[in-house]
Amino acid sequence: MIRYVFFIVIALTSCLHAQNGSTVLSRYGIGELSLGSTVRQIGLGSIAAPVLSSYDINQVNPAGWTTLRATRIQLQVSVEQTSTAFGNTNVSRLTSAIQGLQLAVPLLPKRGITFVLGFLPVSRINYKIHKTTMVGDQPADAKYSGTGGLSLVRFGSSYRPFPWLHLGASFEYLFGSLSRVAAVDFSSANYHDTNQQLVISHGGPRGTLGVVLSALPGLNIGASFSTASRIAEDRTLQLSYVDRDTTLTLGTGKFDIPASFHVGATYQLGSRWMIGTEYSGQDWSATVHDNPEQFRLRNMYTLAAGIEHQPSSEMAASFIDRLAYRFGTYYRVMNVEINGTAITETFITAGFGFPIGTYTRGDIALSYGWRGNENTPTGYDSIFRVYFSISAGELWFQTRPGDE
């Protein structure tokens, strides 16, 4: 099964790479920040830190890898429909993106020793703004656009020293480039169109530590912490005017990405119901950026809650009985404040999981949310997202009877 998923990954990468989309909010800072949860966790309202799973490779808490029982490759993608209202103007767009690719290899499942290699999104920029303006006495079209974003590659491991204690750690390298273009087009031949493109390339390390405690029956308490990262940045400015193109190297610098944390709990109700809640935060208020007169970065936090009806663990159970059902919600204060107004979003989520063969499972999550209002500088966003993931598993490194 894993070899088939590999070919699916290659095909989807070629189709989705150039289609990663976002809203006007991605214009600010390093772009719109990724939620970071797996598709299963999004169905739960994005709860991640306390969630253990035998198949779902946790993206937030490396301690969640201790319960994986098969070698897995996990891919998740999303499709997003966003409608933005600015007064009497309404703009809609449909975008898609790869939301993560991870490989997990359990070397010693009895001790929860699992190695994970992953590629995950951190932020994304993809916006287009067009308005008619006057330059002197001449009408002109001003166009602003941005593309790119940050991603990370990670390598980590988990360990369970006691049945009630799950630990994990990962090393991560953040990288990517942010491109912002400002252009002015004139209708008069007496004026020359101008175009400037600023490209900022980033790169730098950080680490993530995680823990899950299962000391009380049915109760899991989980937490993860990602260190602050001072990543390097290289700036290049390309100017186009008349028939000349000029490229300027503006030099190197540093950009601070603050530390972040997640803390949450889940509780097992009977054999097949689980409820959970989580709080996460990342304080951007001390981060220095290019346009303090236009916006400021602030403390970002998320409150989430969810419930799951879990599938039967019996191999002989029917297909319907092996389905999982999830519902959740989350409220998020974004890391951007414009004209003293904080940008917030609220989402309602639902999802289900289903078996594909013996060791492979798929997950689908739906989320509907709204961000800001018509008086918010970035407009009122109505957002509908569909997420899909497949976690393909095969048994490797299994101990033969008599060798234990």
Average confidence (pLDDT) per 10 residues, the chain, 404 residues: 48 41 74 92 97 96 96 96 82 88 95 97 87 75 88 97 97 95 81 85 96 95 97 89 74 90 96 96 86 79 97 81 96 90 94 91 97 78 96 73 43
Q: Please check whether residue 399 lies inside any domain of the structure.
A: no
CA distances from 63 to 57, 88, 114, 310, 329 (A): 10, 48, 10, 21, 24
Q: Please check whether residue 403 lies inside any domain of the structure.
A: no
- Please give the structure tokens belonging to residue 200: 């900022």
Q: Please check whether residue 400 lies inside any domain of the structure.
A: no
Find all residues with CB under 8 Å of 291, minimum gap 6, and list them. Answer: none
Which class for 267: exposed (0-12), middle (13-18), buried (19 or more C-beta within 10 A)? Answer: middle
Element (H, E) at 12: helix 2-16
CATH no. for residue 385? 2.40.160.60
Total number of domains constituting the chain:
1
Output the pLDDT for position 242: 65
CA distances from 167 to 63, 68, 145, 160, 360 (A): 4, 13, 43, 6, 25
Separation of alpha carbons 128 and 121, rounded Å: 21
What is the domain range of residue 145?
2-394
CA distances from 41 to 176, 356, 365 (A): 26, 19, 9
Output the pLDDT for position 377: 73
Q: What type of residue is 351?
A: G
Separation of alpha carbons 233 and 227, rounded Å: 18
Do residues 174 and 204 lie in contact, with contact meaning Cβ atoms separated by under 8 Å?
yes
Element (H, E) at 42: helix 39-43
Q: Please check whether residue 401 lies inside any domain of the structure.
A: no
* E strand residue ranges, 357-398: 360-371, 380-394
Q: Each residue of 14-39: b (16+ CB within 10 Å) or e?
A: eebeeebbbbbbbbbbbbbbbbbbbb
Q: Please check whether residue 404 lies inside any domain of the structure.
A: no
Answering whether pTM is above 0.85, one says yes
Q: Please check whether residue 350 lies inside any domain of the structure.
A: yes
Output the pLDDT for position 3: 53
Output the pLDDT for position 292: 64
